[in-house]
Amino acid sequence: DVKVTQSSRYLVKRTGEKVFLECVQDMDHENMFWYRQDPGLGLRLIYFSYDVKMKEKGDIPEGYSVSREKKERFSLILESASTNQTSMYLCASDTNTGELFFGEGSRLTVL
């Protein structure tokens, strides 16, 4: 069974903290994505990566960075968390088919 695993389901952080969200896929997919999900706004693409060490900005990259040192792992980094980054973060992967495989999400609360 294909699997995308997000390391933390729930996180609570304080304003200004550095936050790492980790995502691992076991399907050897080239593409990996980070989305943010907010009520009434749907899913918005933060960053995506087509290959190791390659990344491209999505629609809302401000305040975020990413790292992909290995094919199976894609990390989302909030350098200095702010309250407006309280959200659900979804990681996904695919092989250019459009069939994204999603993790269960990481719900981040920034106080």
Partner 1 sequence: AQSVTQPDIHITVSEGASLELRCNYSYGATPYLFWYVQSPGQGLQLLLKYFSGDTLVQGIKGFEAEFKRSQSSFNLRKPSVHWSDAAEYFCAVGAGTASKLTFGTGTRLQVTL
Closest C-alpha among 62, 64, 63, 109 to residue 86: 109
- In this chain, which of 18, 44, 57, 70 binds partner 1, going by CB under 8 A? 44
- In this chain, which of 43, 52, 60, 77 binds partner 1, going by CB under 8 A? 43
Left, alpha or beta for 16 (phi > 0: left; psi -120 to 50: alpha)?
Answer: left
Residue type, 13: K
- 10 counts as binding partner 1 under rule CB under 8 A: no
Helix, strand and coil percent figures for the chain, each rounded to 5 = 5, 55, 40
Residues numbered 51-80 forming contacts with partner 1, rule: CB under 8 A: 58-59
- In this chain, which of 41, 65, 79, 109 binds partner 1, going by CB under 8 A? 41
The binding site for partner 1 (CB under 8 A) comprises 4, 31, 33, 35, 40-45, 48, 58-59, 90, 92, 94, 96-100, 102-105
